[in-house]
Structure 1
Amino acid sequence: MTRETYRKMTGYFLQDEKKVRRIILANRLLTGIVFVSYPLYLISLLLKRDTLLPQAVLVPAVSFVVVTLFRKIVNEPRPYEKYDLPPVIDKDAGGKSFPSRHVFSVFVIAVTVFVRNPVAGCILAMIGIMIAVIRVIGGVHTVWDVTAGVAVGILSGVIGYYMLPYRGF
């Protein structure tokens, strides 16, 4: 993405306060849906006494820590820092843009849910795609950041559930 592309993309939204509010609302709403869905899913596993529960907690948690440490080491600047232009989604954090942790989190959770409920997992993945688009047009991530978030989230889930299946304690 070039500075001009970023300026045009975010400028479309920044010129109208209603558009800015819609992007911010969509970002919060979709992120909130995932934030609420995941604990509810864990509770349902607990109530069913599903043996997947420890893995459903550990795979996203361990993956999240690894991604967080990786982001800290790489410390890729965010588009608004790189191009010195305002983002649509107000963000005061600097660096740590790659990969997008919002997008990564949605996709590792989507794979987690997919293991027992493929339809709900696919719905969460669609929400993840919407969040990825919002994070880019909101000016807080590049396409590369969100694409890496998708890939790492899916890969973490595939490794955690399908390549290292839970055998019970």
Structure 2
Amino acid sequence: MKKETYVKCMDFIRSTPSGVVIVNNLGKLFTFITAACYLFITAGCIWGRLWQELIIYLAIPGISFVAVSIFRKCYNAKRPYEIYDFKPLIPKDTIGKSFPSRHVFSIFVIGTTLLYHYTFTGVLILYMGCLLAAIRVITGVHFPKDVIVGGLIGILCGAVANILFWLL
């Protein structure tokens, strides 16, 4: 996206009553709901002594999160607000580490991982992931490619978890 497109999106959000607050709180809400579902389901695995499922629920998202974080640090892509010199709507002072979006990756890997045993919850989280991806772009903290690649990597890693569930 070009600077003008970011500015136009952010100006529209700013011009809407409570627009910035709503957009920021929706992003936080989607992240919180995803984390709560993930914690609840992993706690259920512990409670039910479903050790193989627990290992997959923890290992695949955990290992892939670390791998994505290391890649981001090494690749160190600049963020839109760094390149275009504007203030993003989400309070952020991070320099670089934009590609891929770790927020979007995380929500997609969790949503896809949960699809096998908890289809409704997985679909709900993936839907929130699409909305979160849009929020991360229109608030100026990520480029579209950052969220698209983050989502695709999350889906791929979650699919690995589902294959492992199927093989068990």
TM-score, normalised by the number of residues in structure 1: 0.92
**What amino acid sits opposite 1:33 in the alignment?**
I
2:144 corresponds in structure 1 to: 143
2:22 corresponds in structure 1 to: 22
Q: In the TM superposition, what is the alpha-carbon distance from 1:78 to its structure 2 partner?
A: 0.8
**What amino acid sits opposite 2:64 in the alignment?**
S
Q: In the TM superposition, what is the alpha-carbon distance from 1:155 to its structure 2 partner?
A: 0.5
Q: In the TM superposition, what is the alpha-carbon distance from 1:151 to its structure 2 partner?
A: 0.1
2:54 corresponds in structure 1 to: 53
User: Quick one: distance in 2 between partners of 1:93 and 1:12?
Assistant: 24
SS of equivalent residue, structure 2 residue 115: helix
User: Quick one: distance in 2 between partners of 1:15 and 1:145?
Assistant: 26
Contact 1:30 1:127 in 2 (8 A): yes
User: Quick one: distance in 2 between partners of 1:20 and 1:45?
Assistant: 38
Q: In the TM superposition, what is the alpha-carbon distance from 1:167 to its structure 2 partner?
A: 6.8
**Pairs aligned (count):** 167
User: Quick one: distance in 2 between partners of 1:2 and 1:123?
Assistant: 31
- Moved beyond 6 Å, runs of 4+: none
Structure 2 gaps of 5+ residues are none
Q: CA RMSD in A?
A: 1.7
SS of equivalent residue, structure 2 residue 29: helix
Contact 1:52 1:166 in 2 (8 A): no
SS of equivalent residue, structure 1 residue 115: coil
2:89 corresponds in structure 1 to: 88
Deviates more, 1:98-107 or 1:108-117: 108-117
User: Quick one: distance in 2 between partners of 1:74 and 1:11?
Assistant: 30
Structure 1 gaps of 5+ residues are none
| 1:51-96 per-position Cα deviation (integer Å, ceiling 9, x unaligned) | 2111110000000000000000111111111100111111111111
| 1:89-109 per-position Cα deviation (integer Å, ceiling 9, x unaligned) | 111111111111001000110
Q: Percent identity?
A: 38
**What amino acid sits opposite 2:59 in the alignment?**
L
TM-score, normalised by the number of residues in structure 2: 0.93
Q: In the TM superposition, what is the alpha-carbon distance from 1:49 to its structure 2 partner?
A: 2.0
Residue 116 (1) aligns with residue 117 (2): yes
